[in-house]
Structure 1
């Protein structure tokens, strides 16, 4: 069973067949699917699932904090199920592929106090950009 499914069961989330399929599609590392990609994969597993159900389920998962919405450079929102594992993103500037990365430095600690402007900094989002091996080979 996937980490996401386990977390949802632990929360007592009502697990309909449609919700289960959406959660299964989002399972795994480095998963950053658009809503349409989730819909396509969910439909392949459960043909009767509707677009509205997929979109509503994604919205619910984001509201619960079980999935993170990732938006980059005006591209379609992507859904990241690794909401409970601290990580940053590495994005291909050509094709938009997103990978989860785990830098060893704490980005909050790296911000000098002179650059905090009196804020109590509790979190930082760092996005790394480059070209993936496939795009770099072109």
Structure 2
């Protein structure tokens, strides 16, 4: 389980009922929901929550650095609560499912000095692509 709710409480972020529900929907391992998916799940917990509130809350969480916005191949943005845990992403090329992965080694060391072109490289994002088990089996 991610520690999103705990992080937000420790920051003193005002957890209104709407904000709490959005955070609860996002909390967990391998959660990469679109804003519409967050809204649909939030409505099942708090029927009066508006789409605008969900979008605004997601935007605030991204600005706070508590949620990552993940964009893949022109698909809808997805929101990842594991912003404070080093990881990469494994994405299904067909259905768009995203899983967090934790490969060994330092991706920064894989970039040779000659390929840095004088940049002071501070981070690397690696995305692995393939077909998930459901898409492989034709489901």
If the TM-score is normalised by the length of the shorter chain, which range does it land in? over 0.9
CA shift at 1:79, angstroms?
A: 0.2
State the alpha-carbon separation in 1 of the partners of residues 94 and 36 from structure 2. 20
* Gap regions ≥5 residues in structure 2: none
Structure 1 residues 36-82: Cα deviation after superposition (integer angstroms, max 9, x where no partner): 00000000000011111100000000000000000000000000000
The normalised TM-score by structure 2 is 0.97
After TM superposition, give the deviation of residue 2 of structure 1 in Å.
Answer: 5.7
CA RMSD, aligned part only?
1.0
- Equivalenced residue count is 138
Residue 71 of structure 1 contacts residue 77 of structure 1 at CA under 8 Å; is this kept in 2?
yes
Within 5 Å, give how 1:92-111 maps onto structure 2.
92-111=92-111
Q: Determine whether 1:77 maps to 2:77.
A: yes
Q: Secondary structure at the match of 1:20?
A: helix
1:61 aligned counterpart, secondary structure: helix
Aligned to 2:136: 136
* Distance of 2:87 and 2:46 partners within structure 1: 31
Do the aligned partners of 1:2 and 1:24 also contact (CA within 8 Å) in 2?
no
Distance 2:134 2:47 in 1: 33
Equivalent position of 2:7 in the other structure: 7
Runs of 4+ in structure 1 off by over 2 angstroms are none
